[in-house]
Structure 1
């Protein structure tokens, strides 16, 4: 057939190949997906009602655990009452529907109360990760035009001096959450309205804002049900931090959406403490980043009470973990794949109706509600054939949005390189240099921008390099200015700059002082060479 003159010739990079989506062949799953889409696309959707108010007051919403593994429960009744009172107080303070309210706090009791209060008003929640340094907090709060920051005593200093109203947990917060007024009725924002504004890692510039609409709850439910197979009889623990997408979508919103309690550990991570929580609370359904599993393996963990389900997200699982887990944990660890822009979309499903033996190295198959494929080398999602797909673009960033979709708008490009075979997807590499360290997605540009501020630094390139425990670690290659010396003191100074200006989770564990950076003739840094474990030895 003759091609129209205005149509360019298609190259291999343009060819879209959809993968089989097994869920489409199961009528009851298709019907469930259709029903989820219908319910959560309702223009009169009341978010606080579907996440809280519809459940029996005596049921447990969250189990709060301290460093001594003392557990207290937050019931749906308590969550409803205190969030209604806090919402009334916030409304009296001037917070209105559509306003952005940032929350900078750890996994404490006040976190879900704050979120439900924000959603009752119809406002939008902006998560701020507690490991962020002040400048990273400021960038997100200012970009979101937040009218209020809710925080805790140990984090308040990061919110000071921004010209934004601050509410701190403690006496003032407790007084608002126990006030006499109840905010009623809830503002029904509908399925299309944003309820969350979360920021990506910023791989090639400043982080991008993702507006999460209320209808995304349908996708989160699909993952909780089919991906994780969370049952009423389970003791569920998603150990991820709610300051990031996986912990927020599937440790806060997802459990509330299906009425299943999640554990919120109010302590820093250690393999010993993680094992104690699993054993003493009888956890049966566990989800965490590969770093957690690697740490448990390194610590010699062998559970006395086996897990029923174990799932991993954030970065690809390594074979040493998958071979270790069945005997040590009592079940296999299943790999899952997703992004801030979508939640989880490709899974080794645990639900019996979709469960099959995972293929070695495979991330799994399309989650019910999604159809995935490849365009050229890139893993993609079909816009038309994915009824639960909710991402339509970044907030106020049309150019960045266009980069994520094919020219005809029919496929979303994940930016990850991979392939599929008989419906299973296999990850190959990232196309955008993002570093996946201990489950966190870190943008090299942010770290390079900080290090380059130092007077002794002429050039810098940051990459992720393999690490047995963390999956990847941040490493920096630094070219010094004339007359400067690559001392241990300078290494510590550069690391501290990143800690102070970005966050402790992202500082370069190793800094290499090199004579030059490998570049193409056009001057672009050849990062693939820097990622080679023997690169420093080659240059010496």
Structure 2
């Protein structure tokens, strides 16, 4: 077992501090430094067809300079927004490095976006360039006439009318490019974050705070060093890719393992863990919930030493099953598109299953009431980060072009995450739910996660989502949408059995009075259950 980066939580928490210089560029100040060792591995890429490519930091940095010249030739300048929507292709990484290097603002997106989503993004961000593949290009073409700022469309893969081909532009591009000396507070990354209502907000991160802040993610939560090979199962389209496929590992000089595949295949994933020297792994709870349905003991995990989960809390049942088979505890991490890793079940602290661990070094995180007062332990309230007198490194700059929304997430000296939790007497944080997911039934407050977790302990349940449902008598009641495990079929008997089960393992008032069996649950790109969609369906808003 490797020596962990943090061995004494309290000591590290008390002493840790990140410095932010006046000028910072991740491509120059971090990646080029690793690239000074020409043999140092940055990426090990495989696909489903037996193709395997290894890239050193030097090769990726060299590629990125060519990409800077290629984008400059298309008129892309410092501060311009470039939208990149690609699956896990090596070009995605080269493009991201290039945008940082030239000071362009990179805006990643998921391959699941619709034409309408794309039009909103192009127009709201004044994007000048879009880079995608043949799967999404037709959707771009549907709306491009309404997006006058987009001057350049670049396709990765086969040629397409009206598009420039990435490979054709890349080949002749010069290899010399002077990295733009970006100021720490210059805009660098733009995420579109879907809220529960209305259009997505534009979350802007700067050149220093976010990349440097992800030292917290890479050091303490991912627990990485220069000899690690880290596998993040997530898609390139959301912020988790920055955490775990880019800034987190590369701050630490670790190599990233990439499996380019169009769907998540549990058996293939477990085979890969046995075949490649992967040391650390990060997945969404959905990934782990699917993996534990397989016979985990039939596979080998020869090099795996550390596993983390993020996106929503991980159910204790899943953590137990995984640990029994692999000997490893999946360590929860908590954060948002707007932040780096804010809290985690760090390797040096005793895990409490179902808890999201303790606040990250560098962040003062408290549970506060409506007036901004810190609440006593074991009292539910809003998760808040202290931003005055000192704003922590790793927090976003603003919701771009939306001062009202930006102002709305602050309360006195605090930034509000929009999540509710309580802190136990030992400082562990326990997630209750999104501020708007909490169910109020007959005067009781019920967090959906606890009910979902207890359902998941039953052999018949593969996944569940719990929302409020209208009820004449009680105002609202708990309703569970349940995806059954293989070999089970829906029945009234099974409904009763699940209800009785939840009554036994949680407080009786929390049991789901309604259960509906479904084939699948609506999810965000990042694998979080979209409870809002189910709730609106229940309340007749959809």
Quickly name the TM-score band, shorter chain normalised. 0.7 to 0.9
User: Is 1:288 matched with 2:297?
Assistant: no
Q: Do 2:311 and 2:527's aligned partners in 1 also have CA atoms closer than 8 Å?
A: no
* Farther off after superposition, 136-145 or 68-77: 68-77
SS in 2 for 1:150: strand
Q: Do 1:84 and 1:117's aligned partners in 2 also have CA atoms closer than 8 Å?
A: yes
- 2-side partners of 1:69 and 1:232: how far apart? 27
Deviation (angstroms), 1:47: 2.5
Residues 118 and 513 from structure 1, CA distance in 2 versus in 1: closer, same or farther, beyond 3 angstroms?
A: closer
Q: Do 1:419 and 1:426's aligned partners in 2 also have CA atoms closer than 8 Å?
A: yes
2:11 to 26, 29, 35: 26
* 1:367-417 per-position Cα deviation (integer Å, ceiling 9, x unaligned): 1111100112111111136632422421111111122110x2x11111111
Equivalent position of 1:277 in the other structure: 272
SS in 1 for 2:45: strand
- 1-side partners of 2:204 and 2:535: how far apart? 38
Between Structure 1 and Structure 2, how many residues are aligned? 442
Equivalent position of 2:500 in the other structure: none
Q: Do 1:236 and 1:262's aligned partners in 2 also have CA atoms closer than 8 Å?
A: yes
Structure 1 residue runs of 5 or longer lacking an equivalent are 1-21, 436-462, 479-494, 519-524, 528-540
Q: How does 1:144-293 map to 2 (within 5 A)?
A: 144-160=125-141, 161-162=143-144, 163=147, 164=150, 165-170=152-157, 172-215=165-208, 216-267=210-261, 268-293=263-288
- 1-side partners of 2:528 and 2:43: how far apart? 26
Q: Do 1:95 and 1:147's aligned partners in 2 also have CA atoms closer than 8 Å?
A: yes
SS in 1 for 2:95: helix
Deviation (angstroms), 1:280: 0.9
Equivalent position of 1:379 in the other structure: 383
4+ residue runs of structure 1 moved beyond 6 angstroms?
A: 474-478, 502-514
Q: Do 1:23 and 1:30's aligned partners in 2 also have CA atoms closer than 8 Å?
A: no
Deviation (angstroms), 1:70: 4.3
- 2-side partners of 1:391 and 1:274: how far apart? 33
1:117 to 98, 112, 132: 98
Residues 472 and 190 from structure 1, CA distance in 2 versus in 1: closer, same or farther, beyond 3 angstroms?
A: farther
Q: How does 1:45-56 map to 2 (within 5 A)?
A: 45-55=24-34, 56=37
Equivalent position of 1:99 in the other structure: 80
Residues 59 and 95 from structure 1, CA distance in 2 versus in 1: closer, same or farther, beyond 3 angstroms?
A: same
Residues 125 and 265 from structure 1, CA distance in 2 versus in 1: closer, same or farther, beyond 3 angstroms?
A: same
SS in 1 for 2:407: helix
Q: How does 1:339-418 map to 2 (within 5 A)?
A: 339-350=336-347, 355-376=348-369, 377-384=381-388, 387-406=392-411, 408=412, 410-418=413-421
Residues 512 and 390 from structure 1, CA distance in 2 versus in 1: closer, same or farther, beyond 3 angstroms?
A: closer
Residues 23 and 210 from structure 1, CA distance in 2 versus in 1: closer, same or farther, beyond 3 angstroms?
A: farther
- 2-side partners of 1:85 and 1:391: how far apart? 29
Residues 182 and 68 from structure 1, CA distance in 2 versus in 1: closer, same or farther, beyond 3 angstroms?
A: closer
Q: Do 1:417 and 1:429's aligned partners in 2 also have CA atoms closer than 8 Å?
A: yes
Q: How does 1:419-498 map to 2 (within 5 A)?
A: 419-421=422-424, 422-433=426-437, 466=452, 468=456, 472-473=464-465
- 2-side partners of 1:508 and 1:405: how far apart? 25
- 1-side partners of 2:52 and 2:60: how far apart? 17
Equivalent position of 1:537 in the other structure: none
Structure 2 residue runs of 5 or longer lacking an equivalent are 1-6, 160-164, 370-380, 440-447, 471-518
- 2-side partners of 1:200 and 1:512: how far apart? 20
Q: Do 1:47 and 1:189's aligned partners in 2 also have CA atoms closer than 8 Å?
A: no
What is the TM-score normalised by the length of structure 2? 0.74
Residues 131 and 257 from structure 1, CA distance in 2 versus in 1: closer, same or farther, beyond 3 angstroms?
A: same
- 2-side partners of 1:186 and 1:146: how far apart? 22
1:305 to 295, 301, 304: 301
* 1:437-480 per-position Cα deviation (integer Å, ceiling 9, x unaligned): xxxxxxxxxxxxxxxxxxxxxxxxxx9994857755599999xx
2:70 to 79, 86, 89: 89
- 1-side partners of 2:309 and 2:45: how far apart? 22
Q: Do 1:381 and 1:413's aligned partners in 2 also have CA atoms closer than 8 Å?
A: yes
- 2-side partners of 1:471 and 1:137: how far apart? 31
Equivalent position of 2:317 in the other structure: 320
- 2-side partners of 1:69 and 1:366: how far apart? 42
Deviation (angstroms), 1:104: 0.9
